[in-house]
Amino acid sequence: MKEIYLDNSATTKACGSAAAEALRIMTQCYGNPSSLHTKGLEAEHELKAAAKTIANAISASPEEIYFTSGGTESNNTAVFGAAKALCRRGKRIVTTAIEHSSVIESAAALEKEGFEVIYLKPDSSGRISPRQTEEAVTKETILVSIMLVNNETGAIQPVEEVRRIIKRSGAPALFHIDAVQGFMKMPVSVKKLGCDLLSISGHKIHAPKGVGALYVKSGTRIVPLHRGGEQQSKLRPGTEPLPLICAMAAAVRDYPDEREHITEINRCCRKRLSETEGIVINSDEQCLPYIINFSAPGIRSETMLHFLEEEGIYVSSGSACAKGHKSHVLTAMGLPPEITDSAVRLSFSDENTAEDIDIFTNRLKTGLRTLARSK
């Protein structure tokens, strides 16, 4: 049975060069970058080279890159770090109702500490409106945290307009962008986006799990979450996980030129889904082509997921199962329960083919026939 992996926004398969690079660092260049001897120096050179590769990919400079354990840590560091650094200048934080839980839960924790948090609601297309943002960002706002691409729908948020709004408002706010789902999948330039902080993750781009980075614009001060040694300008102390960091750099270097291919896959999949009776597509055509979210009202997400899995097709349930939480993203978009309960997310990589989409849609159609209540 052919494996058809359509869950690349959850995580990706590591690419060969990333795996090889991790092995090379672990077995050959295993020194501690902070050690004074040549073995340490050699490791430090590798670390710097990796930072340079990552920096280039987002038009930053290497000193602005801080390696973390992944998207969650980058987001936590950005939100808590900015709030603690600027808490004397204001207590207001603006974010959205559709952020990743690592931002929403961090903001909620700050609310308990006395911060005021505004959660912007998206419209039914899954995007927040600039006008609403304008009303939310006041002079007391110290942090605005908005994602570049929503992880459930693929909706691209109007971050550049948000940046202009912050500027006009005269707020002292730092601007954080969670770019985990957009990194390498669309142009991401910190210069163009005009943000102060930006989170990225390795395992969404064919690097191993356990590594990510936070861009911190030079001159921006945030308070570290961890305390320890002098590594990474003390913002993220601890011995750098060099095998993972270098693997992430390798994944960036060898990232496939896939955007046209993905657009084609998306077009083909969108066409098949819209031709299928009983399917509602929740991601509109302006969404990042890597993600399509759809619902099959009447069939629970989890059931459809396991049904597809029987044929080796791996997707994600847009929402957790009935006993767990509903998707906060789809709920915030104002979608009714029959849509949120049955949502399925597809997310593509360069390995997916048009044939995969055919196999998937055929299996989906079988599922629609056999899984629905026949009454």
Partner 1 sequence: MKEVILIKLGEIVLKGLNRKNFEDRLIKSLKRRLHKIGRFEVRAAQSTITVTPLYDDADMDEAVSCVSKVFGIAAFSRACSVEKDIETIKKAAGEYLEERFSEIKSFKVESKRSDKKFPLTSPEISIEVGTYLADLYPDVEVDVHDPEAVVTVEIRDSAAYIHCGVIKGAGGIPIGTGGKAAILISGGIDSPVAAYMMAKRGIELTAIHFASPPYTSVRAEEKVAELLQRVGEYSGRLNMYTVPFTKLQEEIRDKCREEYSTIIMRRFMMMIAEKIASEHECQALITGESLGQVASQTIGAIACTDSACSMPVFRPLIGMDKEEIISISRKINTFEVSIRPYEDCCTVFTPKHPRTRPVLKNVIAEQDKIDYIPLIEEAVKNTRLTEL
Toward partner 1, which CB reaches closer, 226 or 365? 365
Q: How far is the CB of 312 from partner 1 (least distance, A)?
A: 13
> Distance between CA atoms of 91 and 339, rounded to whole angstroms?
36
Q: How far is the CB of 313 from partner 1 (least distance, A)?
A: 11
Toward partner 1, which CB reaches closer, 5 or 183? 5
> Distance between CA atoms of 231 and 88, rounded to whole angstroms?
27
Among positive and negative, which fits the CA dihedral 69, 72, 74, 77? negative
Residue 28 binds partner 1 (CB under 8 A): no
Task: Please select the residue that binds partner 1; options are 3, 113, 160, 309, rule is CB under 8 A.
Answer: 309
Q: How far is the CB of 102 from partner 1 (least distance, A)?
A: 20
Stretch that binds partner 1, among 25-33, 103-111, 238-246, 319-327 (CB under 8 A): 319-327
Residue 306 binds partner 1 (CB under 8 A): yes
Residue 370 binds partner 1 (CB under 8 A): yes
> Distance between CA atoms of 117 and 108, rounded to whole angstroms?
8
Toward partner 1, which CB reaches closer, 309 or 355? 309
Toward partner 1, which CB reaches closer, 219 or 324? 324
Which residues are marked as active site?
321
Toward partner 1, which CB reaches closer, 28 or 374? 374
Residue 310 binds partner 1 (CB under 8 A): yes
Q: How far is the CB of 369 from partner 1 (least distance, A)?
A: 12
Q: How far is the CB of 371 from partner 1 (least distance, A)?
A: 8
Residue 341 binds partner 1 (CB under 8 A): no
As to burial, measured by CB atoms within 10 angstroms (0-12 exposed, 13-18 middle, 19+ buried), residue 14 is: buried
Residue 307 binds partner 1 (CB under 8 A): yes
Give how far Cα 109 sits from Cα of 101, 143, 185, 331, Å.
Answer: 12, 15, 31, 22
Stretch that binds partner 1, among 146-154, 159-167, 218-226, 365-373 (CB under 8 A): 365-373
Q: Which residue has the tokens 């767990």?
A: 324
Task: Please select the residue that binds partner 1; options are 320, 334, 355, 362, rule is CB under 8 A.
Answer: 320
- Phi and psi of 349, rounded to 5°? -140, 175
Q: Which of residues 285-304 bind partner 1 (CB under 8 A)?
A: 300, 302-304
Q: Which of 182, 235, 209, 219 is nearest to 66 (CA)?
A: 235
The single-letter DSSP state of residue 122 is: B
What distance lies between CA 180 and its chain's CA centroid? 3
As to burial, measured by CB atoms within 10 angstroms (0-12 exposed, 13-18 middle, 19+ buried), residue 247 is: buried
Toward partner 1, which CB reaches closer, 244 or 346? 346
Residue 331 binds partner 1 (CB under 8 A): no
Residue 217 binds partner 1 (CB under 8 A): no
Among positive and negative, which fits the CA dihedral 116, 140, 214, 113? negative
Task: Please select the residue that binds partner 1; options are 10, 108, 225, 371, rule is CB under 8 A.
Answer: 371
Number of residues that bind partner 1 (CB under 8 A): 19
Strands (E), 169-269: 174-178, 197-201, 212-216
Give how far Cα 279 sits from Cα of 158, 235, 292, 301, 338, Å.
Answer: 28, 47, 12, 12, 12
Toward partner 1, which CB reaches closer, 14 or 299? 299
- Phi and psi of 236, rounded to 5°? -140, 80
Q: What is the binding site for partner 1 (CB under 8 A)?
A: 300, 302-307, 309-310, 320-324, 370-371, 373-375
